Amino acid sequence: MIHTKDHKTGYLFDPWDHLGPKRRKLMEQSWAGLFREHILCELPVHKMIPFFAADFGRPTKELYTVLGVLIFQQMKDLSDEETVYQLAFNEQWHYALDITSESDDAAYMSPKTLWSMRKIVTDNGLDQILFHQITDVLARVFKVDTSMQRIDSVHIRSNMQRLGRIRIFAETIHKFLINLRRQHKDFYETIARELKDRYISKQALSCFSMVKPSDSRKTLEEVSSDLFDLLQSFSKNPDVTAMHSYKLMSRVLQEQCAVTEASDGTAAEVSLKPPKEIPSDSLQNPSDPDATYDGHKGQGYQIQVMETYSNEDDKETRSQTLNLITHVEVQTACESDANALIPAIESAKERNLAPEELLADSLYGSDDNCRAAKKLGTEVIAPTMGSPKESAVILSDFTFSDRGKVISCPQGHVPVKTKHKKTRHTAAFNIDHCDNCSLLKECPVKAGKNYYYLRYEDKAQRIARRRALEQTDEFKDRYRWRAGSEATMSEFDRRTGVKRLRVRGFKAVRFCATLKAIGINIFRATAVQMAINLSKGVPEAVISELYHAYFILKELFYVNLYKIKYLFVQYPHNSKLELKSVA
């Protein structure tokens, strides 16, 4: 049965009076107060209802509490056991979730229930709905300006071991033998004893991690041959070939090896592929088949993060501006950043959070991406890929008209004639001018029968314009704010532990990373809310004096720490007077 609580209706008697005014104020100013006031009632509980019967079975845990607990677990980077304890005893969680009862039904959730609820959210992609819902609420409450945003990616790892090629083969065979012994013991007994002794025990398996570099090639050939023999032994058995671990072995063979067949159709030889021929999306770990490989950052996944930013240099104004993460997407590590830009803009645009200016790295800023983003109403500000030779004359050194025609060369000479056909342009220069030019050897013009010709396409001309723009102070001033995305990635990891997750598999990784992004938005919104309240409640001069007094008192406290302790012990009745004299 479905169990939800009406959190919009107020209480006749305040259930939080026992906190006292000071603790109550702290609670309201914390993330718990922000969550309770703005987010709790907006949680998409209606998306959970279809997975439960309305009039049959035991009542579920209160569904608002369930979704809140899943968010808090990720934003605080807690294990399941720690989450259960926090829900049971942490009054801040109770305040945030509007739990006023002290009963087990209200303030306790078993690890099994937590796991089951998380699985429902994970398997059905409700994490994205949660992120969109909460992000839209915070954008509306804090009136976030989404016109300026920046995008970047960060590499993350699931809870998997780093394996080389030998261990990938060995672990895959080990996983298959274990599953075969559990599911089809008769077939398991048909395997040679020597092969089982080599791969079945963890102690024997650990020997593969101690292989000398000089013997690695030979060992690789042996384990690849064992894997191929196992595949061949059960290739005609449908019960075995349907096993997930058998399919993993087949995938490893296909990605890592080349099988040469004889003329009669039988397999003659299994050879290892060179490392360069192995695809980046190959199997990196049998325990996490979804993880892939990035040549720069290694095994794992990556997250695309797009956020708003403020270009105000005034610290007080920036402290009262919410930098909101508007888009989060988890990808495999082998995905290129170039493919993430347009989906991010489209996703934000569907929720009316699309940027007008978007700062990005050069990988995002391809010509195709810039043109596609412009059609969506977004200007991509990113450096162009590559860098030309310093001594060479490049296309950006020429002067162009608004229509892309060459007006003059770097030496100021005007072309004799120009020609345009579809996307191709040709500019002809006087042969006498070019022959006597000191830059001829570095110039991209080519000698013709009557003229020197400069041939280029629209794409090259657009890139040339962008390269010229990159050298201006205006571009450097706008692009300098992209560096703030590095601080976001650091905060993402430092506060939520996103770079080292406790889970494996794409769905589970996506769930954790998405809810951790929600946590970052909540933390940031809380800080902004406190800055706004502080600036409204106390004049700026008083705030400055308070900070000055705070640092003086802090210094006095550490300098006179032992004196204060002594006075409390020796003069318990007039300690206030003595302390005053010390200060």
Domain chopping of the chain, boundaries: 17-124, 165-277, 395-470, 540-582
| Mean pLDDT of the 322-351 span | 94
| Token reading at 189 | 């007994």
How many Cα atoms within 13 Å fall on the side-chain side of residue 47?
Answer: 18
CA 50, CA 47: separation in Å to the nearest integer? Answer: 7
- Mean pLDDT score across all residues of the chain: 85
Computed from CA positions of residues 141, 147, 150, 151, in that sequence, does the dihedral angle turn out positive or negative? positive
The answer, yes or no, to whether residue 420 has pLDDT greater than 60, is: yes
The answer, yes or no, to whether residue 567 has pLDDT greater than 70, is: no
Are 411 and 433 in contact by the 8 Å Cβ rule? The answer is yes
Share of residues in the chain with pLDDT > 90 (%): 48
Could you list the beta-strand ranges (E) of 60-134. Answer: none
pTM score of the predicted model: 0.81
| Mean pLDDT of the 264-292 span | 80
Q: What is the pLDDT of residue 574?
A: 45
Q: What is the pLDDT of residue 565?
A: 44
Q: How confident is the model at residue 68 (pLDDT cuts 50, 70, 90)?
A: very high
Cα distances (angstroms) measured from residue 223 to each of 63, 119, 285 = 50, 36, 16
The answer, yes or no, to whether residue 564 has pLDDT greater than 60, is: no
Element (H, E) at 576: helix 575-582
Share of residues in the chain with pLDDT > 70 (%): 88
Q: How confident is the model at residue 276 (pLDDT cuts 50, 70, 90)?
A: confident
CA 194, CA 189: separation in Å to the nearest integer? Answer: 12
- 3 state SS of 418: strand
Q: What is the pLDDT of residue 317?
A: 78
Q: What is the pLDDT of residue 377?
A: 94
Could you list the beta-strand ranges (E) of 262-405. Answer: 267-272, 292-294, 298-308, 325-332, 357-359, 379-381, 399-400
Residues 6+ apart with CB under 8 A from 339: none
Is the pLDDT higher at 435 or at 205?
435
Is the pLDDT higher at 294 or at 371?
371
Q: What is the pLDDT of residue 266?
A: 58
Q: How confident is the model at residue 569 (pLDDT cuts 50, 70, 90)?
A: very low
The answer, yes or no, to whether residue 334 has pLDDT greater than 70, is: yes
CA 248 to the chain's CA centroid = 27
Dump pLDDT digits (tens) for 69-104.
999 999 999 999 999 999 999 999 999 999 999 899
Could you list the beta-strand ranges (E) of 6-146. Answer: none
Are 323 and 305 in contact by the 8 Å Cβ rule? The answer is no
Dump pLDDT digits (tens) for 434-492.
888 888 888 888 888 888 888 888 888 788 888 888 888 999 999 999 999 999 999 99
Dump pLDDT digits (tens) for 211-256.
777 777 888 888 888 888 899 889 889 999 999 999 999 999 898 8
Residues 6+ apart with CB under 8 A from 159: 288, 500, 501, 502, 503, 504
Dump pLDDT digits (tens) for 494-515.
999 999 999 999 999 999 999 9
Which residue is associated with the tokens 């997250």? 303
Residues 6+ apart with CB under 8 A from 356: 147, 148, 377, 378, 379
| Mean pLDDT of the 362-367 span | 92
